[in-house]
Amino acid sequence: MIHGGMKAATVAIGAATVLALVSGCTLLNAPAHPAATTSTASPDPDPVPIAQQLPNLLVAGQTIGTGQLRVIEHEPIPGTVTDHPLTGAVRIVVGEDRVLEVHIAPDDPSTVNLGDIMLTMTGKRHDGKPENIQDENYYGLVAGPSSTAGDLVMRMPLDSPAAGDPTFLHSLEESPPGDARVFAVATIDWTLPPAYPNLAPVDHGSVANARGRTVLDGETLAYYVPGQGDTIYQVSRRFGLTEAQLVWLNPELLIGSPQPYLKYGIGVNLDPGRR
């Protein structure tokens, strides 16, 4: 896990960005009165916003992830909330309205009391794998209708283009209401196809508006710390990525903001394994 004021954190290799420096050029034999030209070309269309370029892998009705909600070692918690914790098999299902649903088949349905617990989907990892350097986000679940199979059905309203590929959410956490202490966890195993197979950024060197520093974890290009004036466009080109791929690696850039942007000194993830 990497820490640098931020928590740890997920490319096809693009063409190298070439910065051409042209100086001292002089236009020779220019006509005194250049002929007028008329352009009939249509103006360039507005560029597609990055948010609309992100992959959306959700298909209504599909089960796209599974896990097992189990009690973990935790601090002592007063009261009876941990005497009968909610445990059981977990499925992540795409609802008909494409809102993510978390289905839980309780090990002991007779002791379930949703009023005593809080269930949260989060990017925090409990499986020992490297975390994304961006701050983890937490999304509380709200109760939905019970299914015919007797599962508890919770809904996760995530209003972000990043929800089209929710594989950056690694865990379902259970805690007392209003309490950060976690006493049960399910690690989510996603079954969605990879949005960008074999994505592997390569640093092609510092260029204008991409003069920050990179950080390695062993031989892995782990993350990038932007410099002043860095732009998503130039930083993505420095590493052979599209803007959409850089934002896909860092879904937090679009959460709570319709337009992603880099923050000076705040690292961004470059490793798909840390998404």
- Phi, psi (rounded to 5 degrees) for 251: -60, -20
According to the model, what pLDDT value does residue 37 have?
A: 37
According to the model, what pLDDT value does residue 147 have?
A: 66
According to the model, what pLDDT value does residue 83 have?
A: 85
According to the model, what pLDDT value does residue 35 have?
A: 38
Cα angle 231, 13, 233 (rounded to 5 degrees) comes to 10
Cα angle 14, 2, 216 (rounded to 5 degrees) comes to 40
According to the model, what pLDDT value does residue 226 have?
A: 97
- Rounded CA gap, 9 and 131, in Å? 3
**Ordered domains of the chain (ranges, CATH):** 63-190 (no CATH), 197-274 (3.10.350.10)
Q: What is the mean pLDDT of each run of 10 residues along the chain (275 residues)?
A: 37 33 32 38 67 95 98 85 91 93 94 91 94 82 78 89 93 93 97 95 97 95 96 98 97 85 94 94
According to the model, what pLDDT value does residue 136 have?
A: 72
According to the model, what pLDDT value does residue 21 have?
A: 29
Residues in the chain: 275
According to the model, what pLDDT value does residue 42 have?
A: 45
- Rounded CA gap, 84 and 26, in Å? 81
Element (H, E) at 236: helix 232-238
Phi-psi domain of 150 (left: phi exceeds 0; alpha: psi -120 through 50; beta: other): left
For the entire predicted model, the pTM comes to: 0.80
Can you name the residues that pair with 104 across neighbouring β-strands?
A: 90, 152
